Structure 1
Amino acid sequence: MIKLLGALLIVFSTTWVGWDIAKRLVARPKQIRDIRAALQILEAEIMYGHMPLREAVLKLAKQIPDPISSGFTLFADNLNEESQTVTSAWRKSIEEMRKWTELEEKELEILFQFGETLGKHDRDTQQKQIQLTLTHLEREELMALDKQSKYDKMVKSLGFFSGLLIAILLL
């Protein structure tokens, strides 16, 4: 009876790990999509809203879901600190957002590069920089969706069957 309970616990645990990994695979493209939406809103605010960057960022943070909205709220808070430049505030907020998201190094590097240009150009050049960033993020989103479609079911099944194998070997 105890062996059976242990075997069920092993199968449950490995299945849960598989589902957790699959959940991360699903979250990554959505988070990239949310960042793209945020940058499109920021572009509209820069081009047509004529409001200060901090206010535009706070406004867009209310329109997108967590955890991405929390990263933009943190960016707005970092902009409030007088010792921070726009670039350093952006970098600091992206570094913090890295902990809450499933973004990979490629997406983070794209965002860091965007932060280097943020607030340093006129509106037209800034719009071009946003469009370039959106293009790069779109490519990463497509790659993330491809990875999700390839590995989602496999990871779930692998979690279950590896637990089943371990349980059988131990019994």
Structure 2
Amino acid sequence: MLKILGAVLVITAATLSGWIQARQYANRPTQIRKLILALRRLQTEIMYGFTPLPDALQRIGEQSGDPIKSIFTGASTDMNPPFNRTAQDSLQAAIESNWKYTAMKAAEKDVLNQLSFTLGTSDRKDQLGHIATAVRQLESEEAAAREEQNRYEKMFKSLGLLCGAFIVILFY
């Protein structure tokens, strides 16, 4: 009886770990899409709203879902008093502190970091161009993420169960 309980626990743990890994592959394209939509909203705020950057980032953060929300609201908070940090410093700090909560990879992080170098330092037209470039780069990353999802999501779900069964077989 104890062996059967142990076998069930091993299979359950291995299956859950496979499902968790598969969920990372499923969440990445969704989060990239949310990030693209947030950057497009930022474009609109800059182009038509004439909204100060901290207020625009706060508004965009509130409209976005987690974990994208925490990046933009964190950057907005750092740009306002009492911190008064630059747009680059605040966005990079928000990225560093909140990136671990995302399913995104280093390529998306690099795109945001590159955008932070130009955000708030140039005229409106130049900023819109840099945001458009970031959106295009993220769209190509989203396509790659969807391809990875199609390739690996089902595999990790099955692999978790199979590894659990293999471990149980080895111990019996």
Q: 2:114 aligns to what SS in structure 1? A: helix
Corresponding residue pairs, total: 171
Aligned equivalent of 1:159:
160
Question: What runs of 5+ residues in structure 1 fail to find an aligned partner?
Answer: none
Aligned equivalent of 2:94:
93
Whether 1:128 aligns to 2:129 is yes
Question: What runs of 5+ residues in structure 2 fail to find an aligned partner?
Answer: none
- Please say which of residues 77-86 and 131-140 is displaced more in the overlay: 77-86
Q: CA deviation at 1:82?
A: 4.3
Q: Distance in 1 between matches of 2:44 and 2:124?
A: 11
Letter in 1 for 2:139: E
Q: CA deviation at 1:51?
A: 1.1
Give CA-to-partner distance per residue, 1:64-112, whole Å, 9 cap, x none.
1111111111011011144511111111011112121111111101110
Whether 1:61 aligns to 2:75 is no
Over 3 Å off, 4+ runs: none
Aligned equivalent of 1:140:
141
CA RMSD of aligned residues (A): 0.9
Letter in 2 for 1:95: E
Q: 1:113 aligns to what SS in structure 2? A: helix
Give CA-to-partner distance per residue, 1:136-167, whole Å, 9 cap, x none.
00011111110010000000000001100111
Query: What is the percentage of aligned positions where both structures have the same residue?
Result: 39
* Equivalent pair of 2:18/2:158 in contact (CA under 8 Å): yes
Q: TM-score, normalized by length of structure 1?
A: 0.97
Q: Distance in 1 between matches of 2:65 and 2:131?
A: 20
Q: How does 1:7-156 map to 2 (within 5 A)?
A: 7-80=7-80, 81-156=82-157
Q: TM-score, normalized by length of structure 2?
A: 0.96
* Equivalent pair of 2:18/2:160 in contact (CA under 8 Å): yes
